[in-house]
Structure 1
């Protein structure tokens, strides 16, 4: 059956893809149901809509596409060659939508959903595994997508919706984000075990003013803290090496290539001595951040509540700041 149509009714070849999808998408399941049953009345009954509504939708779909999808045979219909071609892609599209729906439902399931969680590299060897182990004692089926990165990169992924929560330092104070302090670590001056200060237990940072430092790259929270503490101590650090991992920096210190301000390691490393810094508050605060106003799925809400309950005891006794 031919359809007369105005130039306004039909989508032009130059229409944007977004406009075409917006126009066609609501009718795809109607088309697929009729294609499967080859009967408009039966398809309308399965869909739970009036037959007249379904018939009008099919006519409009054909008008929008500018092709005939069905050949009418009384009360039954059959696909035209164009209809069979269209059905192949429609079936794939609807199946993909179904898989996407199942995926997001599964991720939001209170018992077995998923949490996208970011954290600092320095918290990956001990702190985060311990947190997840403790959390899963009461939530054994909840899954995690884990991302290790430096603070600014994680906050960008948080803003982009790629993360639900992240542990970071310094604690951000930025529009659109909510952050809560959880704990703090005392930073130590790490020196080679044969260094002139290695026999000491405590040191003022100003005593290292003439030393060569190894640090994290600009953009890392710990680098900003290091620069700030050195400025407070009255000097600008002379930097020989910049890296991305604190344990790499410890290796450089052990090799005699400089000194570093670092949080305590999960396991003491040979070849270096870790000195307590006195005379100023040499700490880094650890906090959890999330998007302001962003609705939490039940798994995310449960893990957020768990993290907030760990305030002051997020870190191990070895890595926590000394009072």
Structure 2
């Protein structure tokens, strides 16, 4: 059993498509098929169910994939640790984040202080971030709600209020506080259902005793702000994006107390380079200072 066989197997297992896997690996498909067949011969069991040109990971393959991914992750950690000890690590840090204004400002200030760190930033949905972290594809992710899972460690870095935004001229435009139950019959402009922000705000409404009457669903808060200006409804709005609400009026929600918390998460058993540890420590200090100023 060779290391290359295991790496090829992981690629085919993730894609469940031999041609696509061969293209990404930049090798000929017959050579890839032969490598996978040889691995199956070594193990004595098939790892894929084959139906014509279609392949699908079977029970043997699924069990083997978990072990192989863990083994390859350990080898990768070992290489990174040795490179770090030898002074060759070159400061690479892989982070999955959101478009949140506070995170982009923090990343900019970190790079200004640590120009030698090679920070690679990606965006991904919450579920995908968790898988990236588990598979060792990234060092850290910023996530909400916080990940609660064995093998994942993290620290809460940012807690913000969620406010109620009302359009200009709304009857509540002079209010400073409100109980959310008062908005039970209001039309809501909302983030789409597949977004954690929507899950959270639906939960706030449930605590207040109602299901929101959604008249408009959008992908991001900039679109929410646009529709707020039209006066068609009210919306939930993050405190740290207050200035991006335009002319909408923001009201603090007294009951229930609406908060969301972001977490910086990492894998407990993954080796973190000196640069990664420097980044983690900076993030924690940055948001402690930020919260103390607000």
TM-score (ref. length: structure 1): 0.60
The residue number in structure 1 matching 2:283 is: 307
User: After the TM superposition, which parts of structure 1 deviate over 3 Å for at least 4 consecutive aligned residues?
Assistant: 13-16, 18-21, 108-112, 310-317
Query: 2:197 aligns to what SS in structure 1?
Result: helix
Higher relative contact order (CA 8 A, sep 6+): 2
1:242 Cα offset (Å)? 2.2
Q: Cα distance 1:210–1:295, how it changes in 2: closer, same or farther (>3 A)?
A: same
Report the counterpart of residue 219 of structure 1 in structure 2: 194
**Cα shift at 1:118:** 1.7
Which residues of structure 1 form unaligned runs of 5+? 1-12, 22-100
Residue 5 of structure 2 corresponds to none
Find the residue that maps to 1:185 and give its secondary structure: strand
Matching residue of 1:277: 253
Deviations 1:11-58 (A, max 9, x none): xx999415879xxxxxxxxxxxxxxxxxxxxxxxxxxxxxxxxxxxxx
Q: Which residue of 2 aligns with 1:247?
A: 222
Question: Contact 2:160 / 2:261 at 8 angstroms: preserved in 1?
Answer: yes
Identify if the C-alpha distance between structure 1 residues 301 and 109 changes in structure 2 by more than 3 Å, giving closer, same or farther: farther
Aligned length: 222
**Residue 145 (structure 2) aligned to one of 170, 175, 178:** 170
| Secondary structure at 2:158 match in 1 | strand
CA offset at residue 272 of structure 1?
A: 1.0
SS across alignment from 1:310: helix
Note the C-alpha offset of 1:137.
4.4
Separation in structure 2 between the aligned mates of residue 247 and residue 294 of structure 1, nearest angstrom:
36
Q: Deviations over 1:103-147 (max 9, x none)?
A: x969x96784221112223x1xx3223212332344221122112
TM-score (norm 2): 0.66
Task: Indicate the residue corresponding to 1:263 in structure 2.
Answer: 238
User: How far has the Cα of 1:311 moved from its partner?
Assistant: 4.7
1:119 maps to: 97
State the match for 1:183 in structure 2. Answer: 158
Shift of 1:295: 1.0
Cα distance in structure 1, aligned partners of 2:280 and 2:192: 30
Q: Distance in 2 between matches of 1:219 and 1:14?
A: 37
What residue is the counterpart of 2:267 in the other structure?
A: 291
The alpha-carbon distance between structure 1 residues 152 and 244, as it changes in their structure 2 partners (threshold 3 A), is farther
Q: CA deviation at 1:150?
A: 4.0
Q: Does 1:17 align with 2:35?
A: yes
1:201 is the counterpart of 2:176: yes
Distance 1:113 1:177 in 2: 23
Q: Distance in 1 between matches of 2:266 and 2:141?
A: 7
Q: Quick check: which has more Rg, 1 or 2?
A: 1
Q: Which has the higher helix share?
A: 2
| 5+ residue gaps, structure 2 | 1-30, 40-78
Alpha carbons of structure 1 residues 14 and 268: separation in structure 2 relative to 1, 3 Å? closer
Deviation at 1:201, TM superposition (A): 1.5
